[in-house]
Chains A and B, each alone.
Chain A
């Protein structure tokens, strides 16, 4: 075991390396490219045995990853943003084969306009693709989650590809101390891949991904995928427990921070949760009962745990680092749905959109959110989602519009 300064990208690559991945089909895209560069080097110098292959697109890359997993080798790949949505058809296709492999997505806002900063619209666009989704907060969690992801994906109760999501820049290019687990212990945690599903082989005929034109049979296979994803909750718990025994770090589908007596709760996902925790600490210092619930596992959704965690709180604010135009925040809907499924509601539920395209969420904005939640009443009636966006930022945007020669047209609100 060693501790080293690693970026999130390096941590992802180290996860794949310790998992002794055998096959990496790759395609470059910022801010993910360092992951595949590291792996390319390790295949080239013999640190990893198997094959690294540069593909022609993410669509091809995910197809090749799925096909290799269907042929029985441990496979890893990574992408980001446009790459993930370019691969969208292939995501659905390979998950339908029910083959395990790990895909790391480095979140980045989607075009148009093209941008480089992170938000979660890319990864949430893939939330129905039949992949398990784990959203991480720290570089350590990146590495640990890649290892856990293989074990979950390869479990016979699951047998599905697993996506580990980390935020571009805020994790991908950010170094922090990361403990690199001992390779022998990792082998104990994650032995070599022994496929539980039929794989391509000359001595066994297998037709996979066959057309199913009958609605009932199609429903059966799609629902089986749902069941497999549901199983991943239980499998994740077991895997997290095993991981904690060997490595001392315990992960849960949901992370509760300052939740024990919290009356006001922030719900967040990804690396910005760190900032949310700072706000919780500041308010706690003033004796305010504030907590944070971080959604680590988005698929399968730990709905019962979400409900259990939020029931009895006075006010819940979901900060979505994404926007579904015409709807608002996606996770707000998911959390509301989880509560509704449990037959419960909290008196005040509010939706905030922040951090789009990597825009900072400042502590001042967190304060604004917490004050809004503190002052909210159930009798307020419908409240639309609120974009976290300051007057100063608006002035800055106005300036850019003016430079772009657009000061003449239209009227600003």
Chain B
């Protein structure tokens, strides 16, 4: 199974909760996260493999049986890789309250399962961004390999390792049980493997091509770091005095000044750090929870 979310949301821990629970249940297990260049707020991926015999595979999972998506906004971003191998997956789990909207788009041809983990997490433990337990519980249930008790042991082991205190662990155990109870197991068919690779015979390319160099100045603009945003700053132009502080203090240069000197936010790139909001002397910048098109 493959987990997707954003840095800081507990995606790695989710994969480990399932991993530990399956281990305690007597299975052979592998779990691993993948680290890229991106940072807090950026898409992250983690993997868990569960088998009843030795696992003769390592590394990334390109053909997952279960995809666990912790953040529906990632479905829009091809770079996040959530949909890699989705066609052969037994199910795609999405943490959302908008399943019907997603379904209505008709883009995804896979069995979809949804639950609003964010809301339940917020209700149970008061912190909407700590998705590890909810996602781990969902994965455990969907897999059909792990009992509710074994899940509880996995949650306890992993959260103790992270240094959480007992009351917090108890709240998380209740959350795990709740999510477990609300979902049903999906059937995972064994899969057969596929064609021999076509190996490329690589020749020599001109040195211009063959070095790790970039000749397109500032092409990082094509990276839409705006997709990292969880909260969205919005400027109230009625009270804005054009002092320019939000412009100078934006770490990413995602605020420009227009001809009249009014700040304009580049939402394709604003990562939502909200320094602008804090720096605005007139409190003319507010934040809204990000809702995307699904």
Contacts and interface: CB of A to CB of B under 8 A. Distances in A.
A289 B256 CA distance: 82
Nearest to A219: B202
B57 interface: no
Contact of A206 (B204, B206, B209, B213): B213
Interface string A196-236: 11100000111111111100000011011101101100000
A47 B177 CA distance: 83
Contacts of A208: 211-213
A242 interface: no
Nearest to A227: B204
B211 A221 contact: yes
Given A220-B202, A223-B202, A227-B202, A210 B207 contact: no
Given A213-B36, A213-B37, A220-B202, A156 B207 contact: yes
B204 A221 contact: no
Contacts of B207: 98, 156, 159, 196-197, 228
Given A157-B204, A220-B202, A98 B36 contact: no
Contacts of B163: none
A205 B219 CA distance: 11
A93 to B, nearest CB: 11
A97 B211 contact: yes
Given A211-B37, A213-B37, A98 B211 contact: yes
A204 B208 CA distance: 14
B205 A224 contact: yes
Given A156-B206, A157-B204, A207 B214 contact: yes
A15 interface: no
B212 A206 contact: no
B56 interface: no
A354 interface: no
Contacts, number: 65
Contacts of A159: 207
B210 A210 contact: no
Interface string B190-209: 00000000000011111111
Contacts of B36: 213
A209 B213 CA distance: 6
A210 B204 contact: no
A197 B211 contact: yes
A212 B202 contact: no
Contacts of A223: 202
A28 interface: no
B104 interface: no
B39 to A, nearest CB: 13
Contacts of B211: 96-98, 197, 208, 221, 224
Interface string B26-56: 0000000000110000000000000000000
B208 A197 contact: yes
A256 to B, nearest CB: 28
B217 interface: yes
Question: Chain B's interface: helix, strand, loop or mixed, by majority?
Answer: loop
A70 to B, nearest CB: 9
A224 B208 CA distance: 11
B215 interface: yes
Nearest to A209: B212
Contacts of A221: 210-212
A206 B216 CA distance: 8
Interface string A255-276: 0000000000000000000000
Contacts of A156: 206-207
A46 to B, nearest CB: 34
Contacts of B202: 220, 223-224, 227
Contacts of B203: 227
B213 A228 contact: no
B212 A212 contact: yes
Contacts of B212: 96, 208-212, 221
B214 A210 contact: yes
Contact of B213 (A198, A225, A227, A231): A198
Interface in B207-241: 207-218
B92 to A, nearest CB: 25
Contacts of A224: 202, 204-205, 209-211
19 contacts: A96-B211, A98-B207, A156-B206, A156-B207, A157-B204, A197-B211, A198-B208, A205-B215, A205-B217, A206-B213, A206-B214, A208-B213, A210-B212, A210-B213, A213-B36, A224-B204, A227-B202, A228-B204, A228-B210
Interface of A: 96-98, 156-157, 159, 196-198, 204-213, 220-221, 223-225, 227-228, 230-231
Nearest 7 interchain pairs by C-beta:
A224-B210, A205-B217, A227-B204, A207-B214, A159-B207, A98-B211, A208-B213
Given A205-B215, A210-B212, A213-B37, 10 more contacts: A97-B211, A197-B208, A198-B208, A207-B215, A208-B213, A211-B37, A220-B210, A221-B212, A224-B202, A230-B204
